[in-house]
Chains A and B, each alone.
Chain A
Amino acid sequence: METVRKGFITSDLVKSSLIGALKKFNPVTMIKNPVMFVVEIGFIFVLLLSFFPNLLGGGEGEHAQLYNAIVAIILFVTILFANFAESIAEGRGKAQVQTLKNTKTDTQARVLLADGTEVMKQAHELKKGDIVLVQAGEVIPNDGEVIEGIATVDESAITGESAPVVKERSGDFSSVTGGTTVTSDWLMIEITSLPGESFLDKMIALIEGASRKKTPNEIALNTLLVSLTIIFLLVVVTLYPMTTYLNVHISIATLIALTVCLIPTTIGGLLSAIGIAGMDRVTQFNVIAMSGRAVEACGDVDTLILDKTGTITYGNRMATEFLPVKGVDHQTLMQAAWLSSLTDDTPEGKSILSLACDLGVNTKDEQQLIQYSEHIPFTAQTRMSGLNLQDGTIIRKGAYDTIKQDSLAAGQQIPTNLEQLVHQVSAVGGTPLVVSMNHVILGVIHLKDVVKSGLKERFEQLRAMGIKTIMCTGDNPLTAAAIAKESGVDSFIAESKPEDKIKVIKDEQALGKVVAMTGDGTNDAPALAQANVGLAMNSGTNAAKEAANMVDLDSNPTKIIEVVEIGKQLLMTRGALTTFSIANDVAKYFAIIPAMLMVAVPEMNALNIMQLHSPTSAIISALIFNAVIIPMLIPIAIKGVKYKPMSATKLLQKNLFVYGLGGILAPFIGIKVIDLLAGPLLTMLGL
């Protein structure tokens, strides 16, 4: 928490944001934010009136000039605060852009021509389809696909992950990103993007906000704010002839003050900061959203489609226990299992070794054993693997049926409880591997998909939020059901092929659901495109990244859950501050209306329920409150309102209480406090 706070606003950021805020006073920029534009026009009017108090008819009283000047200053500060909020939000993104830009310094690329010759070119001159050779220590000039070679690549510039990744031809690790560095060996790369359109360029543009388009919901909310502004402008404009008819004199500055207090300046001033900061939160999370629309859509997700492998489980099955058959002791089985996997490079094999080591297997002579034994790899014909030791001992492991056949063929008895053990493992979704020594079956290794820790609670939260989870897996239904039960997903699709995902998505969409999914392979691309929210892994293929509307730079599929929360948080922040802003008006009315009319209708004091010091003090206090509430809410706008997963009804109740009721009460207190301070001061000034 402490580090977050430190990182939130630095003095450098404040300085640059203040300058940015002043620049934004330019009416051409300002008009993009109609609510604040109205304030600016008001400010210009009052400013003129504080120099030329008789500009609009005059008769404004002896202290008009001072009063006008005070109002003008407060209006100026109001606009400054609003601009400042936007600048701060932008500034926080800029730091990130700078590091990215540094990696984008133009690099030399070694282009291989069709005739085999090499030509050096600037990275920005590269065309789609060019073949380049990149060697250890060199920077990859642009996005592309590996067509030859295998090398490690340092992608920390983009992902922040310092461990280099292996890139090789074909498969899911073939795509490389411009700006990353080859750290060993060499790669031959076919360039797949045009200069200036690489992933890095897009990222910079997105974060910089250059390509920031207002999202659909932001536009809709802005429409609402503009119409509220128009209504209140109408209220004030028509108030003038009505008061004139009743011979009540109200100064122009007061009318402008009333307008500014009533129009939704709080949310109007913070709206774009909320949007920028929302996108920024996604980016800080190392996810690149291709559009704000995608982030908003996240808030609406009803169904999450998750791959089992890599998302729900750790990807590889791991050995979790050794189950000896009757008459064999645990140690013997473990030793045999260990031996069977000594030269097995598969993740399963490795997990058997590590489990055996953990359980205290005898590992002496390991090197010797490896050197002098005959390694029997797994083949489609034999369907088992193992070792033939120097002394002629034959160790095998494999599927139940295969080992059973082998054992029977050698004339051995099948242990009576073997089948029961195998079933015991399958029943809980595990994969049984049977181990034999010299064709005598010793026992079973339980291979298990290990569910990532904490997921069960996560899925429970999602359920509370009304989000359904569907697990897709190629496993058989029994295994799938067991994993589903263990991880707590709502439903699963077993034996699914990549095409099935599209079908599931379409079916869910036909039911009116908004669907999110993660994927990395090329065959995931159509499904990623079909889903409302598609999160591609950065380690995945370019096709997948193109089809998705978000890319996770850390390639952690579980992140989609957090992204959904960020989307919700973005919308909630807008809603909460809008409610707060509108609710504020009640107190401001109670401050200003009696103050405005009290001179002509002394009975109006009955409505001065805050017992404010004087009419002038009431108006100034309301106006000051209106200004200072903006910077006070900047932290909420930028960090987003707190979000805990819960049902919609509860969430609404909570937010209504905090921002609705709070929005009504806070200004009563705020204005009263400001009045207590400002009232005597204004009296001293003779107002």
Chain B
Amino acid sequence: MWQIAIVCIIYLPLVILTGHYLFRVTMHKKTWLDPFMDKVDHVIYKVCGIKQVDMTGKQYVLSLIISNAFMVFIGYILLRIQSFLLLNPNDIENMEASLSFNTIISFMTNTNLQHYSGESGLSYLSQMLVIIFMMFTSAATGYAACMAFCRRLVAKSDTLGNFFVDFVRVITRVLMPISIVVAIILVSQGAPQTFSANQTVQTIEGKMQDIALGPVASLESIKHVGTNGGGFNGANSTTPFENPTVISNIVEMLSMMLLPGACVVAFSLMVAYRKKKTIFGKQGLTIFAAMGMLFLIGLVTVYIAERAGNPLISDLGITQELGSMEGKEMRFGVAQSALFTTVTTAFTTGSVNNMHDTLTPIGGMVPMFNMMLNVVFGGKGVGLMNMMMYVLLTIFIACLMIGRTPQFLGKKIEEKEMKLIALCILIHPAIILLFSALAVATTSGVAGITNPGAHGLSQVLYEFASASANNGSGFEGLADNSTFWNVTTGLAMFFGRYLTIILQLAIASLLAKKMWHSDSVGTLKTDTSMFTFLLVAIVLMIGALTFLPALALGPITEHLQIHS
């Protein structure tokens, strides 16, 4: 328990500091990296021919989509011809078409759902030029979208910010520096960073074992800092080379928690901008508190469920004193595993330090539910945007209850906005439920399910929740490298990412163009603890109401069955 508390205590000052830094980067204020990075940026702008002019919301989204599409195209080709290229000491084959499609969408959408194993499926060049490259660019895309979104909420015009400039600045000023620091810490803990080929060694039992090496630490850092989650190896952060010690485990957790939380702080500072100096800002604090509450509810649930152990295993006469240790690493134990599980799904990273498939039913339901909500901090800026949809929805209902037409930060929420907000909130459950239904109703879908009954359904729900939320963690256990699973999850990731971003930026654009109304005693206060409470209630209500039947059939049934 104390390990969990320590992580949370270190997290708070760190997230506030980073939030201030992110705010300064977003608002083009002076930062300590400017003297050096300004030069780097200018070279990049010059080489790429980026004109630093302000864009309208539409131009911004268009630039985002086109640049992403271009990267997808290049990446796909690289995966398909990797065997002919450099840096392939382990002689990896070209990747198959549907798997390449899935992989490239997966990494461009910041999902990092992996239907391959890195050590056997990718060359070092692919790991770096496709995987690590996209880990930076997809995270930067998400942050850029979030910046554009937040700016428009507090602005009075729709023409502001340039996608390419935001994109470059996020990479050079935020992702790069933090990743370098994290990578060095991980190397110090024992994570490899090398171009040499895998080694085969003789173990003390006298057997031969392949040791997968490669540029692991550099991938590992951006994997967490950019809330990507795709491991260098198939077993992700459970392997000692990706996550050697408890310290590396804590560093990895903190690095995935850092930026999504900092986004909320940065937004809060933008709202409070020009009002008065503040450490956090009340508006962001209410949202942060709501996310924090949902996070803690989940964390405590997993911890209690895992701590209680699995009665089926106790019945076999195996002690459950340490909690349910099936699928967990001894060096992390229940506390660090429960925390990692909650963090990686709440912050939509998707890396794992234990096998989620082997969590107790309720323990496994929490990560699933985190991804179904997709607003508990969420990933790389988009989490904040998703939460803002619920904030707007809550405001809509709360404003009506006090007899005002809905208004947020002085902008009226009317029919057009409501349509888009509703659509945004609708997309995510629609993707998860429709694809899950499709999977269990078709033979090619059912073929991938490796467990009978309720647990099998959980596997399916988890996979699509993970894909649509752009999380990327796997329940694993699902035999998912088939055309059906590659294509369906590919589509789920694609729609879950781009439809949502387009709609969210459209909402921000609409709001930016609106007439501004002032606040008074009669208007809704959106920065009070009551609002936090109401927001949590609405998120849980919509989330729970939407997914409860499916969850009742999956994890809840399983839980009731093993406990009866």
Contact = CB atoms under 8 A, between A and B. Distances in A.
Interface of A: 216-217, 219-221, 223-224, 226-227, 230-232, 234-246, 248, 258, 262, 296-297, 299-300, 302, 463-468, 511-514, 567-572, 574-576, 578-579, 582-583, 585-586, 589, 593, 597, 601, 603-604, 606-607, 643, 647-649, 651-653, 655-656, 659-660
Most chain A C-beta atoms within 10 Å of own C-beta, residue among B393, B418, B425, B521: B521
A259 to B, nearest CB: 11
A156 to B, nearest CB: 33
Interface in B278-325: none
Interface stretch (B105-113, B130-138, B227-235, B428-436): B428-436
Contacts of A230: 426
A656 B534 contact: yes
Given A245-B441, A652-B530, A231 B401 contact: no
Interface in B515-564: 515-518, 520-525, 528, 530, 534, 537, 541-542, 545-546, 548-550, 552-553, 556-557, 560-561, 563-564
26 contacts: A216-B415, A223-B415, A231-B425, A231-B429, A231-B542, A240-B437, A242-B437, A245-B441, A296-B405, A302-B522, A465-B521, A466-B520, A513-B517, A568-B404, A572-B402, A575-B397, A576-B400, A579-B401, A582-B541, A603-B557, A603-B564, A604-B557, A648-B522, A648-B523, A648-B524, A655-B401
Contacts of A237: 437
Given A231-B429, A464-B521, A571-B400, A220 B437 contact: no
Contact of B521 (A227, A606, A648): A648
Contacts of A647: 521-522
A506 to B, nearest CB: 13
B440 A299 contact: no
B410 interface: yes
Contacts of A240: 437
A468 to B, nearest CB: 8
Nearest to B418: A220
A533 B418 CA distance: 24
A127 B419 CA distance: 45
A385 B520 CA distance: 50
A231 B546 contact: yes
B528 A649 contact: yes
A222 to B, nearest CB: 9
Contacts of B546: 231-232, 235
Contacts of B34: none
Given A572-B400, A648-B525, A241 B405 contact: no
B549 A239 contact: yes
A513 B446 CA distance: 59
A227 B422 contact: yes
The interface size bin for chain B is: 35 or more
Given A512-B516, A653-B530, A299 B405 contact: yes
A260 to B, nearest CB: 14
B14 interface: no
Given A242-B440, A648-B402, A466 B523 contact: yes
B89 interface: no
B39 to A, nearest CB: 42
A163 B265 CA distance: 65
B437 A238 contact: yes
Most chain A C-beta atoms within 10 Å of own C-beta, residue among B399, B425, B430: B399
Contacts of B446: 245
A567 B549 CA distance: 39
Given A223-B415, A568-B404, A466 B522 contact: yes
Nearest to A243: B553
A248 B553 contact: yes
Given A242-B550, A243-B553, A659 B564 contact: no
A651 B401 CA distance: 8
A604 B556 CA distance: 9
A241 B549 contact: no
Contacts of A299: 403-405
Given A221-B400, A302-B517, 11 more contacts: A221-B396, A226-B422, A227-B422, A238-B436, A239-B550, A466-B523, A570-B403, A582-B541, A585-B545, A607-B552, A652-B524
Interface in B368-418: 393, 396-407, 410, 413-415, 417-418
Contact of A656 (B401, B419, B433, B563): B401
A227 B425 contact: yes
A234 B430 contact: yes
B534 A593 contact: no
A227 B557 CA distance: 28
A607 B553 CA distance: 13
B454 interface: yes
B405 A571 contact: yes
Given A234-B430, A603-B561, A660-B537, A597 B553 contact: yes
A624 to B, nearest CB: 21
B440 A241 contact: yes
B404 A571 contact: yes
B423 interface: yes
B414 A220 contact: yes
Given A466-B520, A604-B560, A649-B525, A227 B426 contact: yes
B457 interface: yes
B453 interface: yes
A241 B553 CA distance: 11
Contacts of B557: 246, 597, 601, 603-604
A575 B396 CA distance: 8
A235 B400 contact: no
A606 B560 contact: yes
Contact of B398 (A216, A463, A575, A604): A575
Contacts of B415: 216, 219-220, 223
Interface in B235-256: none
A339 B522 CA distance: 53
Please give me the 7 A-B residue pairs with the lowest Cβ-Cβ distance, nearest first: A466-B522, A575-B400, A568-B403, A227-B422, A466-B521, A512-B518, A603-B560
B433 A238 contact: yes
Contacts of A660: 537
A597 B553 CA distance: 8
A258 B553 CA distance: 15
Given A238-B550, A512-B410, A603-B561, A244 B441 contact: yes
Contacts of A221: 396, 400, 418
Given A593-B549, A643-B403, A224 B534 contact: no
Contacts of A603: 557, 560-561, 563-564
B418 A224 contact: yes
Contacts of B433: 234-235, 238
A202 B441 CA distance: 58
A242 B400 contact: no
Nearest to B561: A603
Given A224-B418, A243-B553, A246-B454, A234 B405 contact: no
A234 B541 contact: no
Contacts of A242: 436-437, 440, 457, 550, 553
Contacts of B561: 601, 603
Nearest to A566: B403
B396 A651 contact: no
B404 A224 contact: no
B548 to A, nearest CB: 6
B534 to A, nearest CB: 7
Contacts of B528: 649
Contact of A246 (B423, B438, B516, B553): B553
A582 B393 CA distance: 13
Contact of A513 (B407, B419, B518): B518
B400 A574 contact: yes
Contacts of B520: 302, 466-468
A40 to B, nearest CB: 22
Contacts of A216: 405, 414-415
A578 B400 contact: yes
B552 A597 contact: yes
B549 A659 contact: no
Contacts of A226: 422
